[in-house]
Every structure is written in structure tokens, then in C-alpha cells.
Structure 1
Amino acid sequence: MTKFRPCIDLHAGHVKQIVGGSLTTTATDLQTNFTSEHPASFYASLYQKHNLTGGHVIKLGPGNDEAAREALSTWRDGLQVGGGITNANAKEWIEAGAEKVIITSFLFPDGKFSLPRLESVLTALGGDKTRLVIDLSCRKVADGWMVAMDRWQSVTGFGITQENIKLLEPYCSEFLIHAADVEGKQAGIDEALVSHLAAICSIPVTYAGGGRNLEDLELVKRLSNGKIDLTIGSALDIFGGKGVTFQECCKWNEEQ
């Protein structure tokens, strides 16, 4: 059944909420909705207190490793971590306390999907796919959606299609999918993408992007028949938002 999933987005070592599409290499382009006065460990502790499992810690660029480790050590095996994960460091992040590692850009050298790279990550995790999440965050194109990498700035040639989903599912335990075009804008979810994901995915999916309120949780539940979870970030009161309170989201999960 659809649940609220929490997040800890890290940028330059701080917990922030950012308009996803503004994450270019040029600092002046960055649109920040919120910068927290609290460390990442504060949010990890809060999520643990309310048993909000399956939340993700995303390192948006360099300078975030220390903050991520802080969060993971606060709630060991309670959070997922993504951002710069490769076959060389995947096991290291599990040992640091991550329940699962989330991988994107490493799978797409030169923007093309590499099955050997995916297999190498799984090998590094001892073949345990329950420890692996594949991030298929994407941008809208004329005939669907294409995976976007490198902080969602580079669009690959890998489409969010039934064929590609079937290719990936044997290697991972779930998908994390940010709709990069609406991420951080609090303007509503990509309803067509949510419906599409529900139709083609047979393993758990967490969707993020545009979530504003409890009505959006209800909408995702209806569109996906309860198959897809929703992350709400910028609209949440603990991140300076006014659309929905953290307590309301916790109550939603309890009622599902």
C-alpha cells in the first residue's frame, strides 16, 4: 500500500531542499528552497523515532560524505544512500550503516547503460540484490521518459520502458525515481509517470517529484493501486514547507 517515504538531501554538507533541475555545475543556477539548521543526524533520528523505513539519503555532489555517514550511523540499517555509488564503494557504504545503496550514474558511462557495471555492483554486494536500489530518475521527452544522470543534468538514451524495467528487476530490490522536471517545484506530481510505473514495474517503487500534500499521497495511491510510495520534500514543514506536516505524513502511514 502507498506510503510516505522520507528523504535527507545533502548539498555541500548541509541538509537542503533544491529545485532538482537547477543542479548544474554553475552555482549561480542553483535554486534552494530550504537549508536546514539541523545536521543530517537530526533527521535520521526523527525518522527512526517514527519508524519511517525506506528513506533515502542523497548526496548531491561532492562534500557530503561526512554528513551521509553521520545519518547512517545514527540509524544503522534504517536508511538508503545514493550519490556517487560505484562497485568500488558500494560495500563500504553498507558497512557504514546503509540498509541499501542507490546507484545511477555509474551504470551509464557516456550516457549508455552498462550491464557489466550493474553486475559488478551486485558482485561487490556479495550478490545480495536486497541491498541494491536502482535510481531511474528521469526527464520527460517527446515519447516518454529518459533516465537523467549527473545530478539530473545529462539525459541518457535509456528509456523508462517495460523492456528496460524487466531487464533491471532481477538485479535490484526496488527502484527510486525522481521526476526531475517537477522535483522541488511543489506543483504536483507527474501523474502520467506514476501511472506508467505502476503498469510496468513488479518490484517496489518510490516516486519523488512535485509532492505537495496528503491529497498527492491519495492520488499516487489511486493511480498506482497502492503499488508506489511517495517522497515529499520541499512541501514538508520540517523542510520549511507549508503544504503538509511531518505528523500528518506519519499518521498517513499508520493508517495504511
Structure 2
Amino acid sequence: MTIFRPCIDLHEGAVKQIVGASLSDAAPSTLRTNFVSSHPPAYYAGLYRGNGLRGAHVIKLGPGNDAAAREALAAWPRGLQVGGGITIDNAGEWLEAGADKVIVTSWLFPDARLDMDRLRRLTESIGRQSLVVDLSCKRQGDAWIVAMNKWQTPTDLVLSEESMADLGEYAAEFLVHAADVEGLCQGVDEQLVQALGRWSTIPCTYAGGAKDLGDIALVDRLSNGRVDLTYGSALDIFGGSGVKFDDLVKWNQSRQ
């Protein structure tokens, strides 16, 4: 059954909510920020810990976020996942720093092409149970193309039942941001949610566009309860007005 999975998005060392499609190394002036928190990362880690919300993803959006991520992990050792710049060389360090799992995308795609050997080696290095594969994507026609480098660069990987089954052999979970709607609070990508519910062979969390409490019931229905949902900019703890954090805590409690 679908549950709420929280997040801590880090940019330049601060907790922020950003419109995903506006992230660009080439044109940083285009960045659209919905919210900058006055609270440190540890505040949110403590909030999630106090409400039993395991598996929140801590995402480092670019450089300058390592200290902030470590602060969050220290506040809840083994309660959070961390992603952003994860490679085979540093994955173990992040697990030792307190991450329950590491989230990897770009390192798996040298020259924007999926390297299954890298995935196999990473799984052998840290164990399947410690790995989340990030399949955040952008729509191209009727397909979804995995995007890397803060969702700026399309890869050669098209989401499908076959591709997700192959990748699912080496990971504990998938994380999928719908980059086209991330941060817009205009509703989830319903077709993508349905597809993830059909295709994912392992636990899967969807993020992007959730605007109100009704969306979690929608994701539950569309995915037959097989996909979890992350809220960002619409959430009151991130300055939003669409949904209350306490209501999502109650939703999770009702699911348990």
C-alpha cells in the first residue's frame, strides 16, 4: 500500500525546494526556488525520526552539500537515504556516515549510457540491500527517458518493464522524480505512476508535482498500492499550503 516518503533536498548547504526543470549548470540564473528553510537539515531528520518516517531521501543538488548531508545522517543514523554524487569510491563512506542506503544515478551512466557492469560492481561492493537506483526521468513523446546530472542530461535508458526488471536485480529500491513536473505543485504524472506500478519489481518511490492530500490516494489507486509518494513544495513544512505534514503522518499510521 502507498505510503508517504519524505525528503530533504539540499542546495548550497541549505534545505530548499526547487523547480526541477530549472536546475542548470550552464545557466544558474534560471534557477527557480520555491522555498529556502531557516531550519538546518538535522531539524527535518529529527522530525521524520520522531514520527517514524523511515526511508526519507536526502538529495545533494550539486556541490557544497556534503556537510549538510552528514548533519542529517548524524541526526538519524540508519534512518535516511542519501544521493547526489554517489560513486563506487564513496558509497561505503556514506554508509559508514549513517546512511541506510545510497542513491545512485549519474555514475551509472558514463557518457550518458547505462553501464550495467558498474551497477553490478557497486552491488557487489556494498550489497543490494544498501542501494537505491535513481531513475528520475523526463518525458519524450510517450516514453520516459532517465536523466542525469541534476536532470539536465538525457541518457540512453528508456523506462520499461524490461529495463526496470533488469535493474531491479541489483537494487533494493527505485527512486523516480518526474523532472518535468518536479516543484510545480500541479499534480503528479498519472501515466508514469501507473507505469511504475506495473513495471517495478522492487519498492518504488515517486516524486514530482504532488499538490494536495488527494494525490496520495490517487497514487495508491493508480499504482495498486505499489508506489510510494514524496511531497515537496506543497508541504507545509516546506512553506506550502497544499498539504499538512501531520495529515501525511496520519495517512501512514492508517496504512500500518
Q: TM-score, normalised by structure 1?
A: 0.98
Corresponding residue of 1:199: 198
Q: Return the offset for 1:123.
A: 2.4
1:190-234 per-position Cα deviation (integer Å, ceiling 9, x unaligned): 000000111111210000000111100000000011110000000
1:24 is aligned to: 24
Partner of 1:14: 14
CA deviation string 1:28-73 (max 9, x = no partner): 1100000000100000000000000111000000000000000001
RMSD between aligned alpha carbons? Answer: 0.6
Task: Determine the C-alpha separation between the residues in 2 that align with 1:13 and 1:121.
Answer: 27
Q: Secondary structure at the match of 1:177?
A: strand
Cα deviation code 1:139-195 (max 9, x no counterpart):
001131000000001011100011111111110011000000000000000000000
Who is 1:165 aligned against?
Answer: 164
Q: How far is 1:240 from its partner?
A: 0.2
Give 1:2 deviation, angstroms: 0.3
Consecutive unaligned residues in structure 2, runs of 5 or more = none
Cross-structure match for 1:131: 130
Other-structure match for 2:254:
255
Query: In the alignment, what sits opposite 2:70?
Result: 69
Verify: 1:241 aligned to 2:240, yes or no. yes
Paired residue type of 2:52: N
Q: Please give the alpha-carbon distance, in whole angstroms, between the structure 1 residues aligned to 2:72 and 2:142.
A: 39
CA distance in 2, matches of 1:41, 1:150: 26
Determine helix, strand or coil for the equivalent of 1:21.
helix
Which residue of structure 2 aligns with residue 141 of structure 1?
140
Matched residue of 1:171: which SS?
coil
Aligned-pair identity in percent equals 57
Match of 1:96? 97
Residue in 2 aligned with 1:182? Answer: 181
1:2 aligns with 2:2: yes
Counterpart-to-counterpart distance in 2, 1:214 and 1:221: 12
Letter of the 1:30 partner, please give it. L
Report the TM-score, using the length of structure 2 for normalisation. 0.98
3-state SS of the aligned residue for 1:67? helix
Q: CA deviation at 1:120?
A: 2.0
